[in-house]
């Protein structure tokens, strides 16, 4: 890496690299810049870290997984170098942990092993714990819980990384084995100061025990994979070797695993696990603390391949075990008194005092009566005479102190009694007490949500008169108190969907202000999923206000944001399945559909509640807002399609366009067997022809039309709507006769539509009632009175372009059939010329056709005769033999029409031998060679035989078949 550019400062270099990395397209280029930034910011110029760290962390949202992994590595190195920046990176680490990429998740967990150790050490060394440090620890604790849950991940690698992280946490949050020599720089619970409030030793140790139990549970899972099992086995044995207090549980877990290996393991995997067991048990039995479990460990080792002598060799010597026990016992004896509970110490002191008092009484009883002192009578005092009332401030201070002690007391023994006590105090005492209880609940609302709900019910009972109004609250507004309390709770839970949902679902009354807060969350795209789901649940679970919540949810089905609107519609469709809500939902959707008849969008679709500005014209967004809720209901209630058709008739072109576009998916879901769709096709309201055509197209797009649909379209075409476009989607369901009858109208349509028609008829969309041969013949036979010649020419040309369908063999059959027609089709010769251009091998077959045309006196049909001459011109010199078979007048006419043929024909004739020329009539020779052509003197003219009539291949075996058909 070159830093020799003296004219550019490090700050400018970092700025330049950040910009280049932001616009770089390839991941390799971004990674190169990342490594440069890491080298400069962490090692060369760490003073720039504070300034550029936010820019670096912006890559958290980069789409490339390699860049995110590089960012995790940067954060890991940063935490090692600058502990003070730990709070800045915690949120980014949490986001990266939740990334979709498995590789990124694994890299974050691996990095967190060192970051967690670094953070805990940093907090313990700090003289003062700031709010920033406290927030960082809370974030890290949330990450720790997330990783603990990842032990149940679907990915094998993520589970393995989670197990290694939990091993680190357990070792850091437990006391070390005092009998062993601690490693240098090894962190444990002993290093956590007793004054550290945010991470108490007891809580850390309890958490470590919980996580260790989670590891043991995962270790004993019957469906654990081989890789996870090998990792977990190494982890638990390592914990046992470093923390002897876990030795008993680890040995039990290994014994259970040894006797019950997971049934999912293959033979190879079982061998690997047994080899790992042997290795780990060997290391474990060397620990002095494992000696008392020798009777359990020895049989397993022997079964795994050790002999009894091998086991004896690796067991710690007696002297080593005695030293270990001596160190352990001496430490326990020093700590035994200090570890006793305070209550035990007090009980012992009380018993000692009682024994001393009893001894004094016994000595006193043994004395003579005369030596006993007379005890004076003590005057009884009244408490009211010797005490004075406390000041108000002192009373409140004592009251608040007692409330705080009550709140922090252990309530596991009698939860219901504890809740009743707290809620009664909160509801009946002064505002100061209420505020104290409220502050306690808000400090951890997720934990205290049951208590919060109990308080709400207590307030609701007072509001409704179920409970007597407390004397201290007779002057307060009871409804305002309940509303304020509920809103305070939900405001504190806006970022916790579970707590927020539970508060509103279980609260006895949802006020308007609380509902307004829910509306605010529904308008945030990141929270709309669970917020709108909560509105759905409230609709179901709060019958008294069911319509209020339903209308609130329905309002979001027309919201401006597509994400919010789609989410609301999905929840409404779930509610539509309930019979009691179906009518309300359909009426709302129908009302919005009717808005499309208006000149301008209604005000109900505008404003802050809908996220739109007022408009005087129907834009696409307003149209979709009115249409989408209604169209989404079509698969659930197919009869709604008829109202849509009525509205379609009364709307403008832009609205119709969007209706046709949005209709595809619902119609496809309904299917062509839908009774309501068949009824719509049958009735077809006037003006809705385009809509009905679109419906038929969608239904037949992916498959052949059903018989019912074909029949209804046929009836509609013959009785009411004579638009041939109705027939296009069901062409494959019509008969051949019907298709041929509709051809003259079909080919007059737009070329794109004609192309679609031919695709269907040529079998590209399924079976066709007409073969390609029949289709092309039918096009040639269309009466000129029903379609002009130009249109027919375009149609035939479009067919002939499909060379995969109209092959050489198919065209030969088509021409054969056309030759059999009387009179000859007008476009016959045009098709012959096109076929010859596409398939030159048809030349022999074409010559046969030309000879047959002479017999049919082709010159009597002017258009066909001109095509005959053109074909002869294009097929010369093969056509010369055919030309010389023409009668003299027709030959003269042909040469007059096409003079270019005369000279080549003349040369062709002159090349004949005398014997060959005797077969050519003299009149024909005179026409070709001129009036002075004389027959050879020595040869008697032989009459030219009549040209053979070309018969179909089955009738004359001597005639050559078309190429490709032999």
pLDDT, position 472: 67
User: Is pLDDT at 370 greater than 50 in this prediction?
Assistant: no
Q: Determine how many CB atoms are found less than 10 A away from the CB of residue 108.
A: 29
Please determine, for residue 335, whether its predicted confidence score (pLDDT) is greater than 70: no
CA of 516: how far to CAs of 245, 487, 521, 603, in Å?
55, 10, 9, 20
pLDDT at 348 over 60: no
pLDDT on residue 617: 87
Lowest mean pLDDT among 146-160, 261-275, 383-397, 856-870: 383-397
What's residue 785's pLDDT? 82
User: Which pLDDT band, with edges at 50, 70 and 90, does 379 fall under?
Assistant: low
pLDDT of residue 801: 86
Question: Worst-scoring range by mean pLDDT, 205-214, 324-333, 605-614?
Answer: 324-333
Instruction: Record the tokens describing residue 630, joined without a space.
Output: 């209604």
Task: Give the separation between CA 714 and CA 700, rounded to whole angstroms.
Answer: 15
Q: Residue 384 pLDDT more than 90?
A: no
Residue 943, pLDDT > 50, answer no
| pLDDT one-digit tens code per residue, 436-483 | 888 888 988 898 899 899 989 988 888 887 777 777 676 677 778 888
| 853-857, Cβ contacts within 8 angstroms, sequence gap of 24 or more | 853/819, 853/824, 854/882, 854/885, 854/886, 854/947, 855/947, 855/949, 856/819, 856/824
Mean predicted confidence (pLDDT) in 100-126: 89
The pLDDT > 90 percentage for the chain reads: 15
Strand partners, 607: 612
Q: Tell me: pLDDT of 887 over 80.
A: yes
184 pLDDT tier (thresholds 50, 70, 90): low
Phi and psi angles of residue 920, each rounded to the nearest 5 degrees, phi first: -100, 125
pLDDT of residue 568: 93
Q: Is residue 957 predicted with pLDDT exceeding 60?
A: no
* Predicted confidence (pLDDT) at residue 961 exceeds the cutoff of 50: no
569-581: per-residue pLDDT in tens? 999 999 999 898 9
pLDDT bucket at 181, cuts 50 / 70 / 90: low
Residues 155-183 have a mean pLDDT of: 83
Lowest pLDDT segment from 28-42, 321-335, 429-443, 515-529: 321-335
Task: Find, among 619, 621, 639, the residue nearest to 630 by Cα.
Answer: 639
Q: In the prediction, which pLDDT does 55 show?
A: 83
pLDDT at 343: 39
What is the model's pLDDT at position 69? 87
Residue 327 has pLDDT above 70, yes or no: no
Mean pLDDT of 529-546: 91
Reported as a single tens digit per residue, the pLDDT across 725-751 is 778 888 778 888 888 888 888 888 888
**3 state SS of 774:** helix
Lowest model confidence (mean pLDDT) among 48-52, 109-113, 252-256: 48-52
| pLDDT (average), residues 514-525 | 90
Average pLDDT value for residue range 10-30: 81
Higher pLDDT, 942 or 216: 216
Asked if 109 contacts 165 with a C-beta cutoff of 8 angstroms, the reply is yes
635 to 163, 281, 950: CA distances (angstroms): 49, 64, 62
Residue-wise pLDDT for 31-55, tens only, equals 888 788 878 887 788 788 778 888 8
Q: Which position has the higher pLDDT, 159 or 346?
A: 159
Domains of the chain by start residue, with CATH: 8-132 (1.25.10.10), 153-283 (1.25.10.10), 848-929 (no CATH)
Q: To the nearest 10°, the Cα dihedral for 11, 13, 19, 25?
A: -150
What percentage of the chain reaches a pLDDT higher than 70?
A: 87
Q: Is the pTM of this model over 0.75?
A: no
**Closest by Cα among 245, 235, 241, 236 to 316:** 241
pLDDT score recorded for residue 537? 93
Average confidence (pLDDT) over 359-380 = 48
DSSP for 353-382, please give it.
HHHHHHHHHHHHHHS-GGGSPPPPPPPP--
Calpha distance 534→571 (Å, rounded): 10
How would residue 486 be classed by pLDDT, with cut points 50, 70 and 90? very high
641 pLDDT more than 70: yes
Region 299-311: mean pLDDT is: 86
3-class SS shares of the chain: helix, strand, coil, % to 5: 70, 0, 30
Does 692 sit behind a cis peptide bond, omega within 30 degrees of 0 on the bond before it? Answer: no
Q: CB under 8 Å to 756, separation ≥6 — which residues?
A: 728
Q: What is the mean pLDDT of residues 304-318?
A: 84
pLDDT classification of 191: cutoffs 50, 70, 90: confident
């Amino acid at each position: 890496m070159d830093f020799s550019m003296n004219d550019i400062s490090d700050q400018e270099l970092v700025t330049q690299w950040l910009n280049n990395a932001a616009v770089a397209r390839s991941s390799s280029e971004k990674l190169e810049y990342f490594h440069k930034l890491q080298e400069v910011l962490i090692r060369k110029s760490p003073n720039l870290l504070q300034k550029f760290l936010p820019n670096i962390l912006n890559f958290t949202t980069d789409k490339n997984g390699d860049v995110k992994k590089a960012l995790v590595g940067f954060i890991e190195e940063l935490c090692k170098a600058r502990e003070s920046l730990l709070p800045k990176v915690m949120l980014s680490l949490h986001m990266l942990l939740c990334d979709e990429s498995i590789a990124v998740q694994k890299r974050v967990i691996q990095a967190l092993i060192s970051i967690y150790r670094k953070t805990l050490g940093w907090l313990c060394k700090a003289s003062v714990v700031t709010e920033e440090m406290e927030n960082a620890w809370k974030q890290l604790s949330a990450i720790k819980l997330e990783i603990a849950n990842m032990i149940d991940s679907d990915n094998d690698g993520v589970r393995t990384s989670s197990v290694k992280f939990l091993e680190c946490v357990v070792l850091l949050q437990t006391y070390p084995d005092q009998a062993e020599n601690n490693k240098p720089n090894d962190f444990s619970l002993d290093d956590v100061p007793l004054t550290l409030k945010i991470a108490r030793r007891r809580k850390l140790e309890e958490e470590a025990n919980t996580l260790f139990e989670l590891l043991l549970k995962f270790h004993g899972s019957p469906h654990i994979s081989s890789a996870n099992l090998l990792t977990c086995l190494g982890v638990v044995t390592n914990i046992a070797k470093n923390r002897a207090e876990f030795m008993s549980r680890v040995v039990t877990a290994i014994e259970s695993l040894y006797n019950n290996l997971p049934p999912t393991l293959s033979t190879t995997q079982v061998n690997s696990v047994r080899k790992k067991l042997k290795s780990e048990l060997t290391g474990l039995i060397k620990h002095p603390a494992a000696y008392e479990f020798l009777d359990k460990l020895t049989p397993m080792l022997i079964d795994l391949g050790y002999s009894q002598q091998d086991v004896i060799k690796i067991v710690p010597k007696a002297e080593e075990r005695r030293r270990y026990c001596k160190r352990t016992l001496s430490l326990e004896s020093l700590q035994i008194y200090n570890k006793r509970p305070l209550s035990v110490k007090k009980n012992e002191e009380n018993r000692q005092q009682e024994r001393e008092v009893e001894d004094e009484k016994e000595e006193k009883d043994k004395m003579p009566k005369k030596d006993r002192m007379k005890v004076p009578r003590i005057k009884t005092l009244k408490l009211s005479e010797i005490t004075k009332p406390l000041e108000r401030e002192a009373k409140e201070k004592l009251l608040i102190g007692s409330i705080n002690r009550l709140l922090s007391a252990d309530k596991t023994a009698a939860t219901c009694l504890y809740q009743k006590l707290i809620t009664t105090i909160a509801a009946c005492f002064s505002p100061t007490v209420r505020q104290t209880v409220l502050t306690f609940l808000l400090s951890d609302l997720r934990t205290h949500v049951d208590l919060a709900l109990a308080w709400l019910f207590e307030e609701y009972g007072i509001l409704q008169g179920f409970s007597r109004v407390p004397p201290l609250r007779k002057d307060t507004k009871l409804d305002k108190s309940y509303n304020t309390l509920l809103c305070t709770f939900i405001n504190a839970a806006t970022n916790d969907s579970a707590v927020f949902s539970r508060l509103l679902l279980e609260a006895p009354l949802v006020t308007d202000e609380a509902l307004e807060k829910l509306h605010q969350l529904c308008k945030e795209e990141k929270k709309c999923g669970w917020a709108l789901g909560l509105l759905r649940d409230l609709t179901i679970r709060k019958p008294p206000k069911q319509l209020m919540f339903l209308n609130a949810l329905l309002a979001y089905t027309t919201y401006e944001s597509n994400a919010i609107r789609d989410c609301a519609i999905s929840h409404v469709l779930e509610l539509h399945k309930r019979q009691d809500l179906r009518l309300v939902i359909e009426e709302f959707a129908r009302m919005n559909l009717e808005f499309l008849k208006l000149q301008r969008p209604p005000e109900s679709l505008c404003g802050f509640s809908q996220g739109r500005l007022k408009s005087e014209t129907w834009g696409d967004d307003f149209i979709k807002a009115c249409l989408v809720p209604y169209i989404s209901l079509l698969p659930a209630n197919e009869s709604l399609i008829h109202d849509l058709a009525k509205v379609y008739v009364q709307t403008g072109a832009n609205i119709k366009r969007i209706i046709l576009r949005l209709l595809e998916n619902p119609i496809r879901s309904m299917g062509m067997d839908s009774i309501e769709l068949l009824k719509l096709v049958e009735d077809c309201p006037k003006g809705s022809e385009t809509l009905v055509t679109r419906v038929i197209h969608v239904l037949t797009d992916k498959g052949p039309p059903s018989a019912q649909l074909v029949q209804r379209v046929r009836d509609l075409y013959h009785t009411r709507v004579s638009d041939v476009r109705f027939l296009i989607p069901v062409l494959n369901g019509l008969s051949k006769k019907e298709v041929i009858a509709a051809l003259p109208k079909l080919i007059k349509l737009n070329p794109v539509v004609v192309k679609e028609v031919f695709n269907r008829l040529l079998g590209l969309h399924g079976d066709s009632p007409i073969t390609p041969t029949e289709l092309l013949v039918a096009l040639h036979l269309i009466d000129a009175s029903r379609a002009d010649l130009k249109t027919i020419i375009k149609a035939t040309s479009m067919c002939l372009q499909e060379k995969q369908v109209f092959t050489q063999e198919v065209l030969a059959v088509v021409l054969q059939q056309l030759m059999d027609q009387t009179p000859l089709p007008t476009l016959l010769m045009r098709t012959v010329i096109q076929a010859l251009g596409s398939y030159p091998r048809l030349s022999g077959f074409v010559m046969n056709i030309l000879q047959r045309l002479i017999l049919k006196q082709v010159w009597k049909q002017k258009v066909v005769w001109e095509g005959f001459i053109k074909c002869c011109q294009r097929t010369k010199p093969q056509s010369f033999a055919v030309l010389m078979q023409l009668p003299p007048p027709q030959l003269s006419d042909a040469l007059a029409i096409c003079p270019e043929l005369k000279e080549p024909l003349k040369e062709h004739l002159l090349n004949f031998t005398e014997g060959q020329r005797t077969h050519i009539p003299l009149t024909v020779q005179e026409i070709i060679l001129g009036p002075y052509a004389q027959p050879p003197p020595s040869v008697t003219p032989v009459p030219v035989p009549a040209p053979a009539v070309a018969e179909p291949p089955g009738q004359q075996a001597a005639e050559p078949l078309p190429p490709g058909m032999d």
